[in-house]
Structure 1
Amino acid sequence: MTVTVVPIIEPEPKPGAPLAKMMQERLHRIAEELQDVHLKHMETVEPIFEDLVIYVSYNSKYSVRWRIVNDVPANAEALTAEVCAKLGYIKWKTATINLFHSR
């Protein structure tokens, strides 16, 4: 199974917002670590030629949330949920991708 973790970030952080830049960098590191370390074992889960695509982002309280965005077997979803729960990430429950657009 091919695992891909995609960080969903604000496309253009507001100028002079060093915290926003730091949070985006942190989200990139979280995505890489989740894909390359914590979910590495998923590469051997049957069916081998399937894909597992996960989005990670922040919720309104800046907790890391995750969502599987494609159809995967129930065991793959359960294993992903277990790993994310151990890391303290919460399941993404809203139907929208990004709620942080402000004008």
Structure 2
Amino acid sequence: MVPLAEAWDSGASAWTKNRRVAYANYLQDPRHLVAVTARSNRSNRSNRSNRSKSDQDPATWMPPAPDATCRYTADWISVKLTWNLAIDPAEHDTLAALADTCPDQTITYTPAP
């Protein structure tokens, strides 16, 4: 969900190697690691869109499907909270605006060990 490079820029650069490995391989919560293949996308356009995400945060990239916005926003925030990762001002403003459009979305998380 939150790409490794984004996590690095958000605080993972100060983590131990073991914690970075734990983050990269965290499977206790399905929101953290979202595998995407060409077959799992509905079209080649979706695959290009996923690749275009790269290491961007919600201030510069959102899923192309409008019905995915609330879930994506909640999952992004959940992962950031789970790992105590920082958000930059543009990311904060975007997430706040998106959250306002998702009043029924619940954000849950458990701090990572």
Interval of TM-score (by shorter of Structure 1 and Structure 2): 0.3 to 0.5
Q: TM-score, normalised on structure 2? A: 0.35
Larger strand share, 1 or 2:
1
Q: TM-score, normalised on structure 1? A: 0.37
